[in-house]
Structure 1
Amino acid sequence: MSTSGYFTYNMRTVVHSGADSIIKVPSLFRGLGGKRVLLVSDEGLEKGLVNRVKDVFTLNNGPDMQLVGVYAKVTPDVAQNQSTT
């Protein structure tokens, strides 16, 4: 371990896009070895996108893949930027 405080973190980013691509979300987590998913969001997305993701997990629910909770109390980035100006 370095004593200088220097470190490097690299995270691979993959973007999935296309008509009805949301239906692939459970299988993407399954492919990563996930079994229990927690969805984290802000309240602005709760009635739209979050509900769509919940519906997809409901249709694809099984013993090997579950949406176990939704936390939608994250402060949006826009609100943070506005409060600092």
Structure 2
Amino acid sequence: MTGRVDNDVESRVLRRTPRSRLPETARGEYQGLAAAGSATAETVSPLIMTSLLIDGGQPGWLVLGTVFLLAGLGIVQAAKWSLRRPARLD
């Protein structure tokens, strides 16, 4: 059931993406990449969290907080870069 909901959400997001940013012929590739990323995160995250937070103690929490901070800053920069790119008219 969870996979179906995730696919429905991904499909709705991809349909709202401007055509200039998402070529019609690459829709399946984008969905496949999103699904692969989710599967990888679900597989690897328990090991990372256990290693950092339980075995690492307070320094592990600091490392995790730093990773989240850097990821957030990276997303902001990626969004700004995307908005500066000229739209392609295919």
Please tell me the TM-score bracket, short chain as reference: under 0.3
Greater fraction helix: 2
Greater fraction strand: 1
Query: Normalising by structure 2, what TM-score?
Result: 0.27
